[in-house]
Amino acid sequence: MRLNKYIAQAGVCSRRKADELTLAGKVKINGAVCKTPGYDVMEGDVVVVDGKPVEAPEKPVYYALNKPAGFITTTSDEKDRPTVLSLLTDVTARVYPVGRLDGATRGLLLLTNDGDLSYHIAHPSQKVWKTYLATVSGYLSRDELWALRNGVDIGDKKKTAPAWVTVLKEKSDMTQLEIKICEGRNRQVRRMCKAVGHTVLDLQRTAIGDIKLGRLHEGTYRRLTPQEIEYLKNC
């Protein structure tokens, strides 16, 4: 297997990053620096990246999880809070989450051991639209909706990129919104709503690009279909 694919499928980084590390002399094979990204890794070769041995890659697997609130999107937690990985009860592959959902947010989370796909989807340049269902306090004025749609200052260097925002329901002093964003800043939807004066009471991600949460029960997961995997690789 080509060296960059080997490193990416082992979950270390993307193929492109693997090429950079290789050309920078950070990759050793059987103890010797290898600066050839096209090197064909053979069974028994010992690959070390940045001083860390790389385990032979597993067969790539892809899952969609319906994350409940209260689970954190990391592989381990020093405060011993439950992680999303603890929900994957019969998955033996060393998968990790693609991007993040904050602890209180529910909904669609992809998990894979395919480093390439993960970096491809999560990279800001990729502009994969993520869809959220947000229940927020109060009612939104036309100006507030306009601001959410056109970009708001959430305290970062740049305003948020334009978003699709639709009011789905207004009831007893709260509003249900569908919000589609193509960025993945930390707690972005909550911060966008706060920037226009509304608190998010409930937040669920319902889609990542064309991959839908659908009727997957909370706390359960499914394998992505070959069509969904193909879509993610090409989106």
Name the minimum Å distance from CB 66 to ligand URA.
14
Pairing label, strands 96-97, 106-112: antiparallel
> Which residue of the set 77, 102, 114, 116 is catalytic?
102
Does position 101 interact with ligand URA (CB under 6 A)? The reply is yes
Cα atoms found within 13 Å of the Cα of residue 224, Cβ hemisphere only = 25
200 in Cβ contact with 133 (< 8 Å): no
Closest to ligand URA by CB, 17 or 187: 187
What amino acid occupies position 45?
A: D
Name the minimum Å distance from CB 187 to ligand URA.
4
Q: Is 153 an annotated catalytic residue?
A: no
| CA–CA distance, 84 with 98 (Å, rounded to integer) | 12
Closest to ligand URA by CB, 105 or 113: 105
Q: Which range of residues in 6-14, 76-84, 100-108, 222-230 is near ligand URA by CB under 6 A? A: 100-108
104 in Cβ contact with 69 (< 8 Å): yes
Name the minimum Å distance from CB 150 to ligand URA.
18
Catalytic residues: 102
